[in-house]
Amino acid sequence: MEGPEQPIKLQSDLGRSLARLISLATLLVVLGLLGALGWLFVIYPDSDGPTGDEEEVILEVPEGMTLRKLATELEGKGVIKSARVWSTYMRMRGLDRHLRQGKIRFRIPMTPEEVARYATTRLGRIQIRILIPEGFSRFEIAERLEEYGVCPADEFLDATEDSSLLASYGVDANDAEGYLFPDTYEFDDQTKPRRVVERMLANWTRRYEELQEKYAQQLAELDGWTTHDIITLASVVEKEAAVPAERARIAGVFWNRLNSKRFLPRRRLQADPTVQYGCVAVPEAAPSCAEYDGRITRAMLDDRENPYNTYRHSGLPPGPISNPGKATIAAVIDPEDHDFFYFVARGSGQHHFSKTLRQHNIAVRRNNNSFE
């Protein structure tokens, strides 16, 4: 009578064992999922991104682009390591339906969290690192700020003409041209244009105070020259001096043209960049600027209607034509002492300098340069 009880007990033991195995497997799965989620939300966001030869990757994100498409492009450009993992991370956080549109600049390397911040509008402002090169005009700065997503170009230009803002920094001019100090700045994508101008003016103020302290004696000897005059001349030198070593020499040339009775026509800088700036700043004033495309023509050099034409008007132009750096301002304050009156480009950004018009004409023919 005891025989049938053994199989029943065996089945019961097998059932309990199977149940324990299922429970263990379930626990392992749950633990695995929790571990994966923990890694995805705790470790992955701040993990190192891929490195490469590029320091920046620019992607155009059109309206309607899917997260999958964006992630694939980011992986292909070396911004993220895995499109699949990054996409999962974005979806789990509910960021896939809030992609930022337009041109986005991703720095290399970036963590997945940084990439997410740049790719979506839900994580707040993004920091934008932007270089404003020496010699950029306010018009060129405006274009770069808009290109990098800092602020609209036209709103920035309006802010550069804010008389109360200029007065607060001691700028006695109609606009901030010449006082937007070239440097590398950190802005965010919601920076007000006025704040951008303030940062640049404050930077200029600090740098110029340093120059005033260092060149106090030289500045004292510039009788009758205002700060605006110095910055105006420096802005011209900045556009002409492609090689840093030539800044003080080119500044000396322009000082010679302004002060010497030997140079004719008297006190004319005869600088091509001033003519070009007039075609950008006041194109309506000069008929020759009607078809200006960035290149200078003989008609532009002959046009007296252009107030910035230093071939036809004596002395300094009406105001700065670019934003000079500290070294160029210093070169104007303390120029090289020489007898050169002319210079012409001879390649690699360097110039040939001459003392007489005859020597200059020979150098022009030798370098196949029509102007200067």
User: What are the C-alpha distances in Å from 8 to residues 2, 97, 121, 328?
Assistant: 11, 58, 64, 99
Contact 310, 271 (CB under 8 A): yes
Could you give the CA distance from residue 132 to residue 204 in angstroms, rounded to a whole number? Answer: 13
pLDDT band, very low/low/confident/very high, at 118 (cuts 50, 70, 90): very high
Is residue 372 pLDDT above 70, yes or no? Answer: no
State the architecture of 56-124 in CATH terms: 2-Layer Sandwich (3.30)
Across 3-7, 111-115, 269-273, least confident range = 3-7
Class assignment of domain 128-211? alpha beta
Q: Do domains 56-124 and 128-211 have the same CATH topology?
A: yes
For the chain, what are the domain ranges?
56-124, 128-211, 225-366
pLDDT at 352: 92
**Half-sphere exposure (CA, 13 Å, Cβ side) for 171?**
30
Is residue 6 pLDDT above 70, yes or no? Answer: no
Q: Output the pTM of the full model.
A: 0.81
pLDDT in tens, 52-85: 888 889 999 999 999 999 999 999 999 999 999 9
Number of residues written out for the chain: 372
pLDDT at 31: 63
For residues 97-112, give the mean pLDDT: 90
For residues 125-141, give the mean pLDDT: 95
Is residue 265 pLDDT above 50, yes or no? Answer: yes
Could you give the CA distance from residue 339 to residue 136 in angstroms, rounded to a whole number? Answer: 29
Residue with structure tokens 């500045």?
219
Which stretches does DSSP call E strand in 304-370?
342-347, 350-354
